[in-house]
A and B are shown apart, each in its own frame.
Chain A
Amino acid sequence: QEPLTASLLAGAPPQEQKQMLGERIYPVIHEMHPTLAGKITGMLLEIDNSELLHMLESPESLHSKVEEAVAVLQAHQAKENAQKSA
């Protein structure tokens, strides 16, 4: 699989750009969090494309962003559960 570059992305329409980035990010996230991969990828795709490209080149920054997303998601779910039981 050839690396995803900024120029490769620039040739695609905006929605397709996010799909292309998601296709690269998803497998990495799936290895870390199989059940949450789709949701976490969706959250990360709201980040600027330039930052996402950087994360693909730097697995450490991608990993820390994924952990941040998991924390946000869990806090959100805990809040929802608390509201339901209240």
Chain B
Amino acid sequence: RKSTLNPNAKEFNPRSYAQPK
């Protein structure tokens, strides 16, 4: 079965891991 996952999906940016500027 072919995977339905898309390698071109947009990267997720977690708020809780965001680096302070």
Complex contacts, B17 vs chain A, CB 8 Å: 26, 30
Q: How big is the A interface, by class?
A: 20 to 34
> Would you call B10 an interface residue if the criterion is a C-beta within 8 Å of the partner chain's C-beta atoms?
yes
- Could you say which of B3, B9, B15 contacts A42, with CB atoms under 8 Å apart? B9
Interface of B is mostly: loop
Q: Which one of A5-13, A53-61, A68-76 is at the interface?
A: A68-76
Interface size of B by Cβ–Cβ distance < 8 Å? 15
Complex contacts, B19 vs chain A, CB 8 Å: none
Complex contact A43–B9 (CB within 8 A): yes
Complex contact A19–B11 (CB within 8 A): no
Complex contacts, A44 vs chain B, CB 8 Å: 5
A69 to B14, CA, bound (A): 18
- 28 pairs of residues in contact across A and B, judged by CB atoms under 8 Å: A19-B15, A22-B12, A23-B14, A23-B15, A26-B17, A27-B14, A30-B17, A38-B12, A39-B9, A39-B12, A41-B14, A42-B10, A42-B12, A43-B5, A43-B6, A43-B7, A44-B5, A45-B9, A45-B12, A46-B5, A46-B6, A65-B5, A69-B5, A72-B3, A72-B5, A73-B7, A75-B7, A76-B8
